[in-house]
Chains A and B, each alone.
Chain A
Amino acid sequence: MVIADFAFILVAAFVLICACVVVFHNKIIYSAFALLFCFFGVAGLYVFLNAEFLAGTQLLVYVGGISVLILFGILLTKNIEDLTSKEVSTQKIFGGLISVTFLGGLIYMVNSVDWKVSTPKPIENSPVEIGKLFMSDFLIPFEIAGVLLLVALIGAVVIGRDTDKDLEV
């Protein structure tokens, strides 16, 4: 039990440190790599929650897909490697103050609330059960996600392709 707790703290700290690098690092390429490791760590957190299927999906979609896409995006954009963020110092101070207050409020809240704890034992063969739920109770969100992805794909193509001749105004 103690070892599991220790491992959890390790993974959580890893996620937090990576997330901080994403936010605070000036160079976008470092942020992108930190985001990749952050996604890895989140997959680890899912394992602690007995959500192995979700952890696998997280690795496939976020680490394998989205982070790599972000890296490609950075590599294919001109002059972006040398780009450093330009913030006005008043923005930093105000933004920092709001964020710290909000963080304090959240920490206080998380500690003071009796969270609803789920009592049933974790399911052994979770992908099967998830699949069944997708086709029964969660059919509508599943279908909405289908439409959403279709339109997002086509939208990305529309926005991303070269301005071709037949789109001239």
Chain B
Amino acid sequence: MNTLTATESIPYILPEIILVIGICAVFLVDLLIKKESKTPVALTALIFVVGAFLALLKIDGLEPSYLFSGMLVLDKMNVYFKYIFIISAAIATLVSMQTYTSRKLNSGEYYAFLLTATLGTLLMSGASDLLTMAMSIEVVSIVSYCLAGYKKEDMESSEAALKYVLYGALSSGIMLYGASILFGLTGETNLAGIHTALATTEVNSIALALSIVMILGGIGYKIAFAPFHFWCPDVYQGSPTPVAAFFSVAPKAAGFAMLLRFISVTFTNDPSFTTWIPEIESIGLQKVLIAISILTMTLGNLSALNQTNVKRILAYSSIAHAGYMLMGMAALSFAGVEAILFYLATYLFMNFGAFFVVDHIGRKVGSDEIYAFKGLNTKAPLLAFTMVIFLASLAGLPPMAGFIGKFYLFSALVSSELYLLAVWGLLNSVVSLYYYWRVAKAMYLEESLSDEKVEFNLSGGVLASILAGFTLILGIYFNPLSVWVKSSVSILFG
């Protein structure tokens, strides 16, 4: 084990430092330039996101270590997640630049919040202490409330923000209570320290179970698993669409990073999930995870069936996808973790792509309802074609990336001998076909309501094509990604 002091740790958190400087820089640039043109602000944000990406490349090879006396950690899995967060921040910035050129919503605060949310997710994936876990979740949450309520004059946006705050406050409270029980049992806040305490002394398993469930509640709110998913459709529908797309990817991935680290570091004795601390056997952690994943994907898919708003459909579908990924968690194996990591990478491109198209339609036609998509094929072939790629990938059809992601998940389940769960997941994927198909049908088989032009402009088309390209390529030529995932699966223990 390699624990570094504060001054030694600074090179290891270079991406985070660059993002913090970026937040301040965006505010300053916003103050210094004229009100009319806001492109420099967006460009500043983009430059710092790229800077963080370069810094991440630089720290990629560093030796896995505990930083800041065990408050944060840098290991292979952490770096993998950080790539996902920074890429989604870059896409969100690019989509926002597209979206807001015509509007004046494009202010400096917006990009600063986006950078802060990214910073929060980076910290969430590296948190190895109950204190940093709670703090980083709060950073992401507080910024999310502001972003969700950003369109103040829009009633839906304000309602979304208020619901988000109420649910967020409740689940943070529950998580902190759970953390305080865990601290009371072990006298440690550091995850590795808690593991040592649990492995050496016997603790009351009811109290331990209660604290685990409560902490899962706090993390589950970020992942949006049932029964902590109620905020999700309203918030996605009410928020500005690029923000909704960002919410559905980055904080969710950060929640999974935190869940993986919390469960594996605290409760397993070795990195390969074979032996656990004794109390966990009696609690039945795997059964809890299986129940949550079944509940989440079933509720998500069934609620999506009769929705008419495409943003809401995507919100419910994102809940269902969280359920699929939780199946990988429930497998409690290396293969399951690999499947989650792979799935998140594919999910990043297909979900951002789908939201981007919805955003575009929403601005041109003025509605997110399914009827706005009618006859899109004749009006805007590229738009319709990319949307079909994203939808097919979300539904898990070959040869899209989503298919490979699901394939990894189900094979992880089979190797953990969870056959029933795998069958249930397959059934759910079949159900999900129905609502993705409804959108595709509206675009290709139904008559358009009007003849107005809705096709992408050049940069929008390029962005959508890139996202669709990744969704296709990762479905056909997925070997490099799966090799990278295999090498990233190691979590720092001890």
Contact = CB atoms under 8 A, between A and B. Distances in A.
A168 B69 CA distance: 47
A155 B151 CA distance: 13
Contact of B113 (A112, A115, A155): A155
A144 B135 contact: yes
Contacts of B103: 169
A10 interface: no
A148 B142 contact: yes
A154 B204 contact: no
Contacts of B68: 137, 139-140
Contacts of B210: 105-106, 109
Interface in A35-86: none
A105 B181 CA distance: 13
A95 interface: no
Contacts, number: 106
Contacts of B146: 151, 155, 158-159
Interface residues of A, number: 32
Interface string B403-437: 00000000000000000000000000000000000
Interface stretch (B182-190, B230-238, B268-276, B482-490): B182-190
Secondary structure dominating the interface of B: helix
A2 B68 CA distance: 43
Given A151-B143, A155-B142, A158-B109, A136 B204 contact: no
Interface residues of B, number: 49
A118 interface: yes
Contacts of A116: 184-187, 197
Contact of A140 (B132, B153, B154): B132
B206 A169 contact: no
Contact of A113 (B104, B138, B153, B185): B185
B453 interface: no
B200 to A, nearest CB: 12
Given A139-B6, A144-B135, A155-B143, A112 B151 contact: no
Interface string A106-147: 101100111110100000000000000000111111001101
B152 A151 contact: no
B355 interface: no
Interface in B147-185: 149-154, 161, 181, 184-185
Contacts of B105: 167, 169
A136 B68 CA distance: 8
B192 to A, nearest CB: 14
A85 B103 CA distance: 39
B116 A147 contact: yes
Nearest to B100: A169
A168 B105 CA distance: 7
A166 B106 CA distance: 9
A158 B143 CA distance: 11
Nearest to B109: A158
Contact of B20 (A139, A147, A154): A147
Interface string B259-278: 00000000000000000000
Interface of A: 105-106, 108-109, 112-116, 118, 136-141, 144-145, 147-148, 150-152, 154-155, 158-159, 163, 166-169
Given A140-B71, A169-B105, 17 more contacts: A105-B210, A112-B207, A115-B185, A136-B6, A137-B71, A138-B131, A139-B71, A141-B131, A141-B132, A141-B135, A144-B123, A148-B138, A148-B142, A151-B113, A155-B145, A167-B153, A169-B103
13 contacts: A109-B207, A113-B184, A113-B203, A137-B68, A137-B69, A139-B6, A140-B67, A145-B135, A147-B20, A154-B112, A155-B113, A158-B146, A163-B153
